[in-house]
Amino acid sequence: MPFTNLELVEQVDAFPHPVYHSAEHAKQLSTLVRLTTAAGDTIGYLLPSVVAALKDTALSGTWWDIGDSITLRGNTIEERNENILKTVTSWRENKTFKVLGGWRNELYAVYAPAGQLYLTMERAATCLFGVVTYGVHMTVYTTNPIRIWVPRRNINKATYGGMLDNSVAGGIAAGMGAFETLVKEGAEEASLPEDLVRERAKCTGAATYFYVRDKRAGGEDGLLQPEVEYTYDMEVPEDVVLKPCDDEVQEFRLWDVEKVKHELAAGNFKPNCIMILLDFFIRHNIITPENEPDFLQISARIHRALEFPLASHALA
C-alpha cells in the first residue's frame, strides 16, 4: 500500500511529538539523559548505550560530569572541542559504536542559547549525542507545468545508497553559512554554475523535525537526529540540465509532479527529502487543505519546534 503524506511525515519526524503523541513523548524522555551546557541548557539527548560508554572513564575520559544530566567539561570552546574529540576518537578506535565507521573528518557545530557556538564535533558522532544538525536543501524545477529535477544517490553510498534525493542538498559544516553551502553543493553535486545559483536560488524557510535513524543511515538503529534544513527553490529554464559532478549522485531525472508524488508514496526518497518536497507542494498549491485531510498536522510537523537551542547563521 502507498504511504499517505502523514505516514511519510511520521517516518521522518519520528521522535514522539509532545503535542500529537504526548504520552509517548514523556515515556521516551524518561529513558534518556540530557546533554547540557555548563549553564544547564539542554543541547542533546543521550541513549542508555551512550551514557554507559561515557561512564567508562578508561574508554571515554574523565572530562564528563555525570549525574541527572551529563556535561562536557571545558571552560572554552577549544577545550570542549579537544575533550569531545578525544572521547569520540577513543570510541572509533575501540569500535564502540558502528556509526563511527562512517567517520567524515568534517566538523559540525553545536550551539548554546542565542545561537552562540558551544563546541564542534565530528559529523558522524552527532547522532550519538542527539544534538541538532543543519543542512540545506534546494528544489530545482521548471514551470508550465512544474517538473522537478530529482537525483538518485550513488548505490555504493554508505547512507541511503540508491535512494532518490532532493535536487541539491548537503550538511552545513562548522564555519560555513547556509547559502555558501548551497552554492558549493550545487556545483559539486549537480554541476550548477555558481553565478546561476547566486542569481536564481531563493530561500523559502526551514524544515525542522526530529528524526530517529534506521539501518539505511548507517550504524546503529534508533540514534537520535534532530535536524534543521534551510530550504531553497530555484526555477530554471528548460535548457538548464542538472548533471552529476562528484560520486554522490548516480543520475538526474526531470519528473512531473505526479511522478514525484508516486515515488514519495512508494517510499523511494531519502527520508528527510520527504519534508522538503511536501513543503514545496504546500507552497506551490499542490497540497491544500481541500485535498489533504491531514494538512494542518503535516504543515506543523514539517516545522516542528525543537527543544534545543538553535543556531544563528546570520553573517557577522
Domain boundary among 98, 126, 154: 126
How is 125-157 classified by DSSP, letter by letter? GHHHHT--EEEEEEEEEETTTTEEEEEEE-TT-
Q: Tell me the percentage of the chain whose pLDDT exceeds 70.
A: 99
Q: Same domain for 215 and 293?
A: yes
Range of 42's domain? 32-126
Whole-number Cα distances in Å, 265 to 179, 215, 231: 30, 20, 21
Cα distance between residue 29 and residue 46, in whole Å:
10
Helices (H), 15-113: 22-29, 48-55, 57-60, 77-93
At 157 the pLDDT is: 86
Q: Are 209 and 123 in contact (CB under 8 A)?
A: no
Indicate the pLDDT class of residue 118, thresholds 50, 70 and 90.
very high
Cα distance between residue 205 and residue 219, in whole Å:
30
Look up residue 144 and give its three cell numbers: 508550465
The DSSP bridge pattern shows strands 116-122 and 133-142 to be unpaired
Q: Is residue 153 over pLDDT 80?
A: yes
At 314 the pLDDT is: 79
**b/e sequence 48-80, b meaning 16+ C-beta within 10 Å:** eebeebbeeeeebbebbeeeeebbbebeebeeb
Look up residue 112 and give its three cell numbers: 548554546
Q: Is residue 66 over pLDDT 80?
A: yes
Largest pairwise CA distance in the chain: 63
* Unique residue bearing C-alpha cell 565530528: 122
Indicate the pLDDT class of residue 271, thresholds 50, 70 and 90.
very high
Report the pLDDT averaged over residues 185-195.
Answer: 96
**pLDDT tens readout for residues 278-316:** 999 999 999 999 999 999 999 999 999 999 999 988 765
Query: Which of 46, 131, 127, 122 lies closest to 87 in space, CA to CA?
Result: 122
Helix (H/G/I), strand (E/B), else coil: 279: helix
Instruction: Indicate which CATH number applies to the domain containing 288.
Output: 3.90.79.10
pTM of the model: 0.96
Q: Same domain for 36 and 104?
A: yes
Q: Same domain for 63 and 196?
A: no
Q: Is residue 298 part of a domain?
A: yes
Structural domains in the chain (count): 2
For 108, other C-beta atoms within 10 Å of its C-beta total 22
Instruction: Indicate which CATH number applies to the domain containing 95.
Output: 3.30.750.160
Look up residue 291 and give its three cell numbers: 485535498
Q: Same domain for 83 and 224?
A: no
The residues pairing with 69 across neighbouring beta strands, listed in sequence order, are 34
Report the pLDDT averaged over residues 155-162.
Answer: 89
**pLDDT tens readout for residues 206-221:** 999 999 999 999 999 9
Report the pLDDT averaged over residues 130-143.
Answer: 98
Query: Which of 145, 164, 168 lies closest to 257 in space, CA to CA?
Result: 145
Q: Is residue 96 over pLDDT 90?
A: yes
Domain boundary among 78, 96, 126: 126
At 248 the pLDDT is: 82
* Unique residue bearing C-alpha cell 557556538: 117
